[in-house]
Amino acid sequence: MKDKKQKILIWDIESSLQEVLCFDTREQNIALDNIEIERYIHCISYKWYGEKKIHTISQLNDTNFKKHIHSDKYVLTEFSKIISQADIWVAHFGVGFDIKMFNGRLLLSGLPPLPNIPHYDTCLLARSLFKLNSNKLDYLAKQLGYKGKTENAKGLWRKCFEGDEKSLKQMAKYNRNDVDILNFVFEKMMPFIKIHPITPKDAKCKNLICQSSNIEFRGYGYNKNGKYRRFQCRECSTWGSYKI
Ligand SMILES: [Zn+2]
């Protein structure tokens, strides 16, 4: 018996280069008033967990794209509608990058903020749960026997910044592959995660993408609230406990 009530959104951003003026190519600190065009978002790809299709919202979908090649307002508006429907979102280093980048763009574009949505950050989780050589998405996916990130053509970001449509399509493809890899890594990591943003009640698997009732009781545990019956899911091996 599986119960997949939560809508879990797996997503990833591709942001642009920014245009700056500087004296030296080795210059590390660019004066803020030398920023000509602030970075923005080329595209966002996403997938609802459990569904096959990976969608992309790209600058190219904006009917006025050719008039303002550095605008991401369309991407921001459309993705706001999508992420607002999610019960939980998943992104790799999403807490440090994707959600901040998105929120910053909303602020500067005069768009409304997002609701507070619980999330899983697979990068921060990998960092806290495992001692691996790298917590990069590409590395994690390959170590788990899956494909890695797509190799990008040289100068792709520059061409996207210049509004080249072919390159933006290529960027969207790269973006969708990242979402596919993220979905794979997230699924593999889930049974190891002990703290979830939402906890299924009763004797059910705590892994939100499983939630099976096919569990096996394996001993007892105690905490400040009393005695718990410990169990393991027969389908995904996730551990959980049930207050008695
Ligand atoms: Zn399970």
Per domain, the residue ranges of the chain are 8-190, 195-243
How far apart, in Å, do the first and last CA atoms of the chain sit? 22
Please tell me whether residue 12 adopts helix, strand or coil conformation.
strand
Structure confidence at residue 4 (pLDDT): 52
H/E element holding 158?
helix 156-161
58-77 pLDDT per residue, tens: 999 999 999 999 999 999 99
Q: How many A from CA of 101 to the centre of ligand 1? A: 33
Q: How far is ligand 1, taken at its centre, from the CA of residue 11, in Å?
A: 23
Asked if residue 23 has pLDDT above 80, the reply is: yes
**What's the pLDDT at 115?**
97
Cα-to-centroid distance, 212 and ligand 1 (Å): 5
Per-residue model confidence (pLDDT) at position 225:
82
pLDDT per residue over 134-153, tens digit each?
Answer: 999 999 999 999 998 888 88
pLDDT tens across 78-121, in order?
999 999 999 999 999 999 999 999 999 999 999 999 999 999 99
**pLDDT at residue 187 is higher than 90:** yes
Q: How far is the centre of ligand 1, averaged over its atoms, from the C-alpha of 67 (Å)?
A: 50
Compute the distance from residue 122 Cα to the ligand 1 centre, in Å.
Answer: 18
| CATH dotted code for 8-190 | 3.30.420.10
What is the SS3 assignment for 157? helix
Give the C-alpha distances (Å, rounded to integers) separating 114 from 16, 42, 66, 82, 183.
Answer: 22, 19, 28, 11, 23
Confidence of residue 222 (pLDDT cuts 50, 70, 90): confident
Residue 27 clears pLDDT 80, i.e. is over it: no
185 CA → ligand 1 middle, Å = 16
Decide if 215 contacts 207 (C-beta within 8 A).
no
Q: Residue 224 — very low, low, confident or very high, per pLDDT cuts 50/70/90? A: confident
| Location of structure tokens 């996916």 | 141
Q: Residue with structure tokens 């027969």? A: 234
